[in-house]
Amino acid sequence: MSTTRKRRICFPITSRAYYGRSQLLIRKLHHHPGIDLELMLGGSILLDKYSRHVADDIKEGGFTISASLFNVIEGGNHVAMAKTACLTALEVTNTLYTADPDVVVVCGDRFEQLAIAMAAAYLNKTIAHIEGGDLTGSIDESVRHAITKLAHIHFVTNDDAKRRVLTMGENPAYVFNTGSLDVERASCVDADITTEELSGYGVGHDVDVTTPFLTVIQHPVTTESSNRQHLETTFRALATFDLPIVWFWPNPDAGTGEMAETLRHFREHHEAATERMRFITNVPADQFIALLKRTACVVGNSSAGIKECSFLGTPVVDVGGRQQGRLSAENVIRTGYDVDGVRAAVKQQLAHGRYAPSHLYFKPNASQSMVDVLTSVELYTQKRFHEVP
Amino acid sequence: MSTTRKRRICFPITSRAYYGRSQLLIRKLHHHPGIDLELMLGGSILLDKYSRHVADDIKEGGFTISASLFNVIEGGNHVAMAKTACLTALEVTNTLYTADPDVVVVCGDRFEQLAIAMAAAYLNKTIAHIEGGDLTGSIDESVRHAITKLAHIHFVTNDDAKRRVLTMGENPAYVFNTGSLDVERASCVDADITTEELSGYGVGHDVDVTTPFLTVIQHPVTTESSNRQHLETTFRALATFDLPIVWFWPNPDAGTGEMAETLRHFREHHEAATERMRFITNVPADQFIALLKRTACVVGNSSAGIKECSFLGTPVVDVGGRQQGRLSAENVIRTGYDVDGVRAAVKQQLAHGRYAPSHLYFKPNASQSMVDVLTSVELYTQKRFHEVP
Amino acid sequence: MSTTRKRRICFPITSRAYYGRSQLLIRKLHHHPGIDLELMLGGSILLDKYSRHVADDIKEGGFTISASLFNVIEGGNHVAMAKTACLTALEVTNTLYTADPDVVVVCGDRFEQLAIAMAAAYLNKTIAHIEGGDLTGSIDESVRHAITKLAHIHFVTNDDAKRRVLTMGENPAYVFNTGSLDVERASCVDADITTEELSGYGVGHDVDVTTPFLTVIQHPVTTESSNRQHLETTFRALATFDLPIVWFWPNPDAGTGEMAETLRHFREHHEAATERMRFITNVPADQFIALLKRTACVVGNSSAGIKECSFLGTPVVDVGGRQQGRLSAENVIRTGYDVDGVRAAVKQQLAHGRYAPSHLYFKPNASQSMVDVLTSVELYTQKRFHEVP
Amino acid sequence: MSTTRKRRICFPITSRAYYGRSQLLIRKLHHHPGIDLELMLGGSILLDKYSRHVADDIKEGGFTISASLFNVIEGGNHVAMAKTACLTALEVTNTLYTADPDVVVVCGDRFEQLAIAMAAAYLNKTIAHIEGGDLTGSIDESVRHAITKLAHIHFVTNDDAKRRVLTMGENPAYVFNTGSLDVERASCVDADITTEELSGYGVGHDVDVTTPFLTVIQHPVTTESSNRQHLETTFRALATFDLPIVWFWPNPDAGTGEMAETLRHFREHHEAATERMRFITNVPADQFIALLKRTACVVGNSSAGIKECSFLGTPVVDVGGRQQGRLSAENVIRTGYDVDGVRAAVKQQLAHGRYAPSHLYFKPNASQSMVDVLTSVELYTQKRFHEVP
């Protein structure tokens, strides 16, 4: 198909993590002569306390920002999550109506992305979805597949996911295994992080990045009610190691309120144990990768443990149900929410050390592959269930 | 499983059609000793001009109404549809948070039902979905399957749909082919409708129900931009028949504005042709069935043509893409948007006359089967993709 | 004060009537070299059925439209009115945040204008209010004065209003009696309307504008519960005159639903009486003035009867409480909601004929006076109650 | 007037401060046989981190809670404030529509209370406003008077305010000087607070309440852009005193984000100066009064300094524009935002010591007076401007 006018692409970004992983794609779209790119900013990316660096970076990029939407409702619980999604969709509708894009790009499995996909679908836009078909736990599992059923173009990151998207009735001509943007990005980073730089982020004690240290990233699991206890389990398991810890605050999903409070409680009431810990909300994306390269072991339930770390060869202890069912490389040991289990798994990983890079989620040029599809594929809006023969 | 406390079920009703088809189920749930039922009213069902009868009926039923939400945004276009969905979800979140049900029942494929399902999922509720797995056109096709991927309990209406829901990764233990509520209801109605009663609804000329007449129900197809022309096609095709016509106003979906205007234009500017026509927004559910039984042929794109009429044996000419791909019995002739095609199909149906009842969508006691499941099945919230072997 | 950069002025327009009356001002602001003007469209002005002409006119004007917001919630009742206002304010907040104007211009006493003023005040914008200090009935009375207490610059239309705004504690340096925009506009119109042109609007029978006819404009009074009966009173009073009638549909305020239904009922069930009537939603602003010039008497509760007609000398029968307390010229006879009262008043006006022009609300160049203030006055945001000595 | 059915009163509570000051009134309304009281909770009172104690207290009170609305939008800036107000009004509309109260009680001058008043007015409810007619700075000044112009029953707290409410055109028959609820409450408290109890709240160092200490309560002034610097001014002025300080976190108004960050910055980077400080979000209402009784001087811009402290005789240094123009007793010294000014004023107050109680805002039985009015006054909805002779 030859396109005579530029394709207008709208890219809503609702968290700093999304921006980090999408950076390569966004820049390529921005510079492509056949594309008019508009970013929409919403959610946590606009809240100073999390994302000042990211917002600055976006401004410097020279992108067109079609809207900056403050729509995170306080509460850190399920009702706040649901209402944040609804308000996001309401406001996105106005912005999409004005911007009138040909394609809306939706990413992953976060709750507000489904809301955006719904609004885009009702506005009769073509939806491209990045990272469909993966399995996880939490509400993310439902969100990801529901987005698949609203989307028209699918960029999956592995063959397993591709098979699953096809099974769900999507048209094979529109399902592309491009590999993961996160992993492509991780593969491109050669930045490093120093102890001094790390001490510039967050609060707590200094962590020397030249000697072994642990990194904890444990987010709430929205479909579970014991997020506080699960975090305590991790805390108690890791307190027995004589290693410094870089501890990331949880994502602002339902359950984040009590988890953040738990962390604050640790800091106030377990001074001895937290003397080796630094608590951080965010480091810039490149330095985050550098940190993953340097850490002795990542503990928690972040997708970075499954994806970026598979390529980087970083040992990972994946705790609990959030990444349940997700395809993982040999760098990941899974464990339940029990102190002994977490402790044993960390010990095993410390004994093993780094792994060889896995290409499970990696293809070179993932972002370029997506740009190629987005500029050339024929767009459509009326979906049809594609029966698997 | 034995339940010790009553299960609380929340049933959002957002259109008069939904209430009509769900009536048997709602009444059985209402009277079941193990169930606490709460209705939530929203959308068009609260707008006087459409649904006064229904609202009265609901009040008389003695049901608990946990909320009456005015959330239809005017415009009759895509942006109004999207914003109506978002506003509905926002308000439903508040109501579900207060009502705290165990199960939320979501129906079919209408745009606001996906918004409700999303809100319920984020509140970590178990979602029961009625009528998953069917194929249609319009945005409904996307909506229906996206709801499936958010829902935990599936009541499908035919074996074809069951197969499709399983293909999409749903757990077979939670997929139940109960048959269609609409068709069960149609099978129970023995009411009739007289010419006098019919003349009490809508505007225009009297239609004698004792002699052959046509019924038109043509809704907007939200993914198409030519709804006005498509309606004109039907109008021009039917104007050549010397038969009275009962013409229903379109649903308040995106595109309804221009369709309603087109109908008004017909009335003002084609007086001769509309002299045999009556334009109606709504007749009570029982009389609607009676009308389907009496009409010589249904023309348009209503699901009633596919479902209720299959059991009633009413000849149907299904026009265009709205019911595309949907399983249909032999009472349905499909045609595109062209005057000659519609005319020929109607002629053929008039020549054929009524059909034998089909059981494609029919099982006796559909509503009771659903009640049995809803009272006894073990509830869960964390979904897992069920790989088809 | 000398301004070095252009002042950015945001002008939200939420109804066709507002656009009509503000046209002169908007055009002058648009062409002023020291002003960047942005229009925001919302409310009924975007709904095709009311305002297609106006929207076209706006587009042709070459104005910058910063947002088109669909935010009218269906229902025509109090809850729909309240929610429309809230949704408007929510969306306006986003738009004002992006547009970042120096001044927001708010008009009159309509419910959504207070919501806009509230949003603008919370965003710390300077608010200019047109037409403060007048008295009316309905919720408008509360709305108008509440806006005054949020606004920083006041353009009042008469000395009585000026005195009242000062009494309420506003700073005399910022209260300007510029006369009424509506009346300035009426004074500039030399367009005429023909019978053929009039017959191009609305539905019903032709009204010959060259012979005496009545014009009815009766809107709902939101603080009263008997809008239906009040409309019937007017209908019954006027049905006894042997004169054609141009009858305008009511504004979409709370109560409009039942009034519109009442009008539809008249049309269907009082064919004889309505044989002389034409029912119209809208005529372009210039032709509306022409109509007021030609009509023998305006009946109802429109502010046009009080303001435009005072200058045009058109006899007016003002019915009920909507304009209660409002300063009026001798062209207005006030009457309660009773058939005999209305009938007697109309008779008296028909006997009297046209009045001499009043300058009660008129100053030449009202719009230019406002432009002068808006370009030169020193802007401020922190209000202080100005105690009257 | 004799009432035959109970009056239904709806009392929206949107902050812990409001609950504190309204407690006496709420309890009396709750126990009155002629009143049906419903509380609506929204805003910061539902957010765990601020108000757990209050929420528990409300539950124990046995009140009917008609809604719990999560509607605080994160950002701590103007756009978040505006959107929080709009969302509050939207949700309150639904709740008021369902609850259908006779009277809605609105308090003071906070931004969300105007939004609630607007929604209530549009629903044609009678609005009672507590504490109209006072002067302040910030957006509160506009909010308070705008509410007055929407309200039907006015409970003012001093004669000055009464005069001003009448000047604004309110009906004298509906303006009642009942004295202040806050001050009545302060007059009833005989609780004390110990050093141990105080150390149970907030973070930082212990403050010995038996020796002289300062209390700082400095909220953002929404109409000013230098809240960060203004807070630093206070910090620098007080750092020179050798006294412990109880420092309250700012209210969640626009500007709170940067103020909270500033406080966090003090804590991390001025360890020496903050070694004598305790940072607190909230103490229960009774203990707050006890704290005011014990403190050597209150510094900042809280209304408690003007009102409660006038009766308690606590020395107050009122900084900047937030309480500008407000009637104050001799216990208050006002100063601008300069280090020397604040320091000198605090010195002067420390030298002076406690003041004799003022009755400027005090009348015994304020809450009972309000109950008497709310149960007996004739209710109305159509407002009329009452011209002062």
A74, A79, A268: residue with CB nearest D74: A74
Q: For residue D207, give how far its alpha carbon lies from the nearest alpha carbon of chain C (Å).
A: 37
Average pLDDT, chain A: 91
Cα–Cα nearest to A217, from A240, A179, A245, A176: A245
Which tokens sit at A68? 């900056």
The beta strands (E) that lie in chain B are given as 7-13, 35-42, 64-69, 103-107, 126-130, 153-156, 175-177, 203-204, 214-217, 245-248, 277-280, 297-300, 316-319, 332-335
Query: D216: distance to nearest CA of chain B, Å?
Result: 37
* D273 Cβ contact list (under 8 Å, min separation 6): D235, D239, D266
C192-199 mean pLDDT: 94
D90-145 pLDDT tens trace? 999 999 999 999 999 999 999 999 999 999 999 999 999 999 999 998 899 999 99
Instruction: Give Cα separations from C315 to C230, C301, C347 (angstroms).
Output: 21, 13, 11
Model confidence band, residue B257 (pLDDT cutoffs 50, 70, 90): confident
As a whole number of angstroms, the distance between CA D246 and CA D270 comes to 16
For residue B115 the two structure tokens come to 């918004």
Tell me the per-residue pLDDT of C211-247, one tens digit each, with 9 for 90 and over.
999 999 999 888 888 888 999 999 999 998 999 999 9
**Rounded Cα–Cα distance for residues B206 and B274 (Å):** 11
Q: Does C150 touch chain D (CB under 8 A)?
A: yes
Residue A125 near residue A34 (C-beta atoms within 8 A)? no
The pLDDT of residue A51 is 60
Q: Which chains touch D (3 or more CB pairs under 8 A)?
A: A, B, C
> Are the beta carbons of A191 and A287 closer than 8 angstroms?
yes
CA-to-CA distance for A191 and A206, rounded, in angstroms? Answer: 20
**Residue C138 DSSP label:** T
Q: Flag if A73 and D70 touch (Cβ within 8 Å).
A: yes
Please give the angle made by the CA atoms of D176, D182 and D187, to the nearest 5 degrees.
Answer: 105
Q: If you average pLDDT over residues A216-227, what whole number do you get?
A: 88
Question: Taking chain C, what is the end-to-end CA distance rounded to the nearest angstrom?
Answer: 28
Chains interfacing with B (3 or more CB pairs < 8 Å) = A, C, D
Cβ within 8 Å, pair A74-D79: no
Query: Residue B107's beta-bridge partner residues?
Result: B130
A147 φψ region: left (φ > 0), alpha (ψ -120 to 50), beta (else): alpha
Segment C7-26 mean pLDDT: 90
Is the CB of residue D97 less than 8 Å away from at least one CB of chain B?
yes
Chains adjacent to A (≥3 CB pairs closer than 8 angstroms)? B, C, D
Distance of CA C73 to the CA centre of its chain: 20
Residue A338: per-residue pLDDT:
93
B2 — pLDDT class (breaks 50, 70, 90): very low
Chains touching chain C, criterion 3+ CB pairs below 8 Å? A, B, D
Q: Which residues of C touch A64 (CB under 8 A)?
A: none
Segment B354-374 shows an average pLDDT of: 96
φ and ψ at residue D105, rounded to 5 degrees: -100, 125
Question: Residue A49: its pLDDT value, please?
Answer: 57
Between chains, do D146 and C118 touch, taking CB under 8 Å as contact?
yes
Interior angle at CA C10, CA C5 and CA C12, nearest 5: 170
Nearest Cα residue in chain D from C77 = D123
Interface test with A, best of C41, C94, C96, C97 (most A CBs within 10 A): C94
> pLDDT at residue C4 above 80?
no
Model confidence over C107-131: pLDDT tens digits?
A: 999 999 999 999 999 999 999 999 9
What ipTM describes this predicted complex? 0.91
DSSP B130: E
Average pLDDT over residues C345-357: 97
Per-residue pLDDT reduced to its tens digit, B44-74: 888 755 565 676 777 788 898 888 899 999 8
Cβ distance of D74 and A72 shorter than 8 Å: yes
Name chain B contacts of C73, Cβ cutoff 8 Å.
70-74, 87
Instruction: Determine how many CB atoms are found less than 10 A away from the CB of residue D62.
Output: 9
Q: Which residue of chain A comes nearest to B134, CA vs CA? A: A385
Q: Is B186 on the interface with A (CB under 8 A)?
A: no
CB contact under 8 A, C79 and B70: yes
Say yes or no for a CB contact (<8 Å) between D73 and A72.
yes
| Residue C49 pLDDT level (bands cut at 50, 70, 90) | low
Confidence category of residue C1, pLDDT binned at 50, 70, 90: very low
pLDDT at position D268 is 74
Tokens of B191: 């009411």
Query: Which one of A68, A69, A98 has the shortest CB-CB distance to C67?
Result: A98
pLDDT given at position D2? 46
* Interval A275-289: pLDDT, tens: 899 999 888 888 999
Of D68, D69, D94, the CB nearest to B67: D94
Place of tokens 């500033």: D262
DSSP element (H, E) containing A107: strand A103-107
Taking residues A135-146, report their average pLDDT. 94
Contacts of C69 in chain A (CB under 8 A): 94
**CA neighbor of D161 nearest in space, from D332, D366, D376, D328:** D328
Of all residues in chain A, the one with the smallest CA distance to D91 is: A83
Q: Does B68 touch chain D (CB under 8 A)?
A: yes
- Are the beta carbons of D275 and D242 closer than 8 angstroms? no
Minimum-distance CB partner of D79 among A70, A74, A257: A70
CB contact under 8 A, D98 and B69: no
DSSP-assigned beta bridge partners for residue D9: D37, D103
Query: A173 and chain D: CB distance < 8 Å anywhere?
Result: no
Longest dimension (CA), chain B: 66
Q: Report B:214-273 residues touching A (Cβ under 8 A).
A: 222-224, 254
Yes or no, beta carbons of B94 and D94 under 8 Å apart: yes
Give the model's pLDDT for residue C204.
86
Comparing B202 with C367, the larger pLDDT belongs to C367
What is the percent of chain C with per-residue pLDDT over 70, rounded to a whole number? 97
Contact D122 C149 (CB under 8 A): no
Distance CA D52, CA D50 (A): 6
Q: A83 at the D interface (CB within 8 A)? A: yes
* Strands B64-69, B35-42: pairing kind: parallel
Per-residue model confidence as pLDDT tens digits over A289-301: 999 999 999 999 9
Looking at residue A91, what is its pLDDT?
Answer: 94
According to the model, what pLDDT value does residue B32 have? 96
* pLDDT surpassing 60 at residue B15: yes
Per-residue pLDDT, A209: 95
pLDDT value at B364 more than 50: yes
For residue C224, which residues of chain D lie inside 8 Å, CB to CB? 382
Average pLDDT of chain C, as a whole number? 91
CB-CB under 8 Å, A72 with D47: no
Give the pLDDT of residue A1. 43
Q: What is the pTM of this model?
A: 0.91
- Asked whether the beta carbons of residue A98 and residue C69 sit closer than 8 angstroms, the reply is no
Q: Is the pLDDT of residue A178 over 90?
A: yes
Torsion, CA B133, CA B135, CA B138, CA B140, rounded to 10:
-20
pLDDT at position D78 is: 92
**Confidence at residue B135, expressed as pLDDT on a 0 to 100 scale:** 94
Asked whether the predicted pLDDT for residue D48 surpasses 60, the reply is: no
C122 with D388: Cβ contact below 8 A:
no
% of chain B surpassing 90 pLDDT: 71
Query: Which among D70, D203, D257 has the least Cβ separation from residue A80?
Result: D70
Whether C164 and D385 lie within 8 Å, measured CB to CB: yes
DSSP state of B251: P
The string of DSSP letters for A217-262 reads E----TT-S-HHHHHHHHHHHHHTS-S-EEEEPPPSSTTHHHHHHH
With contacts defined as CB-CB under 8 Å, which chain D residues touch C111?
Answer: 122
Closest Cα in chain A to C70: A94
Task: Give how far Cα C361 sits from Cα of A321, B248, B330, C162, C178, Å.
Answer: 72, 50, 72, 12, 9
C70 and chain B: CB distance < 8 Å anywhere?
A: yes
Nearest CA among B246, B247, B248, B264 for reference residue B207:
B246
| Gap between the Cα atoms of D67 and D65, Å rounded | 6
The percentage of residues in chain D with a pLDDT greater than 90, rounded to a whole number, is 71
Give chain A positions within 8 Å (CB) of D261. 48-49
The listed range with the strongest mean pLDDT (A99-103, B137-141, B198-202, D266-270) is A99-103
- Express as a percent the part of chain B with pLDDT over 70: 97
Residue A69 to residue C98, Cβ atoms within 8 A: no
Q: Does C93 touch chain B (CB under 8 A)?
A: no
User: In sequence order, what E strands does chain D have?
Assistant: 7-13, 35-42, 64-69, 103-107, 126-130, 153-156, 175-177, 203-204, 214-217, 245-248, 277-280, 297-300, 316-319, 332-335
**Candidates D70, D75, D80; nearest CB to A75:** D70
Residue B178, Cβ neighbours under 10 Å: how many?
A: 23
What's the mean pLDDT in B128-133? Answer: 97
The reply to whether D64 touches chain B by the CB within 8 Å rule is no
Output the CA torsion sign for C307, C310, C312, C317. Answer: positive
Beta strands A203-204; A126-130: pairing state: unpaired
